[in-house]
């Protein structure tokens, strides 16, 4: 603490900013959970990339859903389960024994819960595609889908709202 009446330094000036680079270059490989390395174009990394893109779309859907709604809760649960899947996929076979059921290893119960959710959603009556339904969004041109052209005034939520779809 400084002299009486002095103003302490702003918190921002004391913040440590992590570095986003390693200075080791890029050898075309990436690290796995619990160690080991694989090529960035390997099957596990491709799978996790696809899962990550799905989670991104779910995050956009959750942002448009009401907090605490059935949709929001189902998407949040699915996103958590997909994080578990990504951990399992990104683990070398020699390290699989280190995975924890439900935290980094997909369980049979998780699969059964997903199947139940799918069956529940499929059993719901659908009268028509509403303006916010997945069927309606899927019928829009790809350039208006969530995640497409997300820059400036032409970001997808604004674009879809301006067209009266939300």
Radius of gyration of the chain (CA): 22
Domain for residue 75, yes or no? yes
| Among 50, 24, 56, residue whose Cα is nearest residue 37 | 24
Domain for residue 138, yes or no? no
Q: With H, G, I as helix, E, B as strand and everything else as coil, classify residue 100.
A: coil
| Angle between helix 43-64 and 70-89 (nearest 10) | 170
The dihedral through the CA atoms of 149, 154, 156, 160 has a sign that is negative
29 DSSP 8-state letter? E
Domain for residue 99, yes or no? yes
Token pair listed for 112: 């059964």
Domain for residue 165, yes or no? no
In terms of residue numbers, what domain contains 46? 26-107
User: pLDDT at residue 160 above 50?
Assistant: no
CATH of the domain at 81: 1.20.1200.10
- The end-to-end CA distance of the chain, in Å, is 54
Reported pTM = 0.65
Domain for residue 142, yes or no? no
Q: What percent of the chain has pLDDT over 70?
A: 66
Domain for residue 66, yes or no? yes
Of the two residues 24 and 92, the one the predictor is more confident about is 92
Domain for residue 139, yes or no? no
Q: What are phi and psi of 30, to 5 degrees?
A: -135, 155
Find all residues with CB under 8 Å of 7, minimum gap 6, and list them: none
Task: Tell me the β-bridge partners of 30.
Answer: 38
Of the two residues 24 and 10, the one the predictor is more confident about is 24
Find all residues with CB under 8 Å of 81, minimum gap 6, and list them: 106, 110, 113, 114
Residues belonging to the chain: 166
Most trustworthy range by pLDDT among 10-19, 20-29, 132-141: 20-29
Number of domains making up the chain = 1
């Amino acid at each position: 603490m400084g002299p009486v009446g002095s103003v302490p330094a702003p918190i921002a000036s004391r913040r440590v900013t992590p570095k986003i680079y390693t200075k080791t270059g890029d050898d075309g490989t990436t690290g796995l959970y619990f160690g080991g390395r694989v090529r960035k174009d390997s099957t596990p990394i491709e799978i996790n990339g696809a899962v990550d893109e799905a989670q991104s779309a779910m995050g956009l859907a959750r942002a448009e859903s009401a907090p605490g709604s059935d949709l929001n809760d189902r998407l949040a649960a699915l996103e958590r389960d997909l994080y578990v899947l990504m951990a399992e996929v990104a683990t070398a076979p020699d390290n699989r024994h280190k995975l924890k059921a439900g935290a980094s290893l997909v369980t049979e119960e998780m699969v059964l819960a997903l199947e139940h959710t799918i069956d529940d959603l499929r059993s719901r009556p659908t009268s028509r595609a509403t303006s916010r339904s997945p069927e309606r969004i899927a019928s829009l041109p790809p350039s208006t889908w969530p995640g497409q052209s997300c820059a400036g005034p032409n970001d997808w939520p604004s674009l879809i709202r301006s067209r009266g779809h939300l």
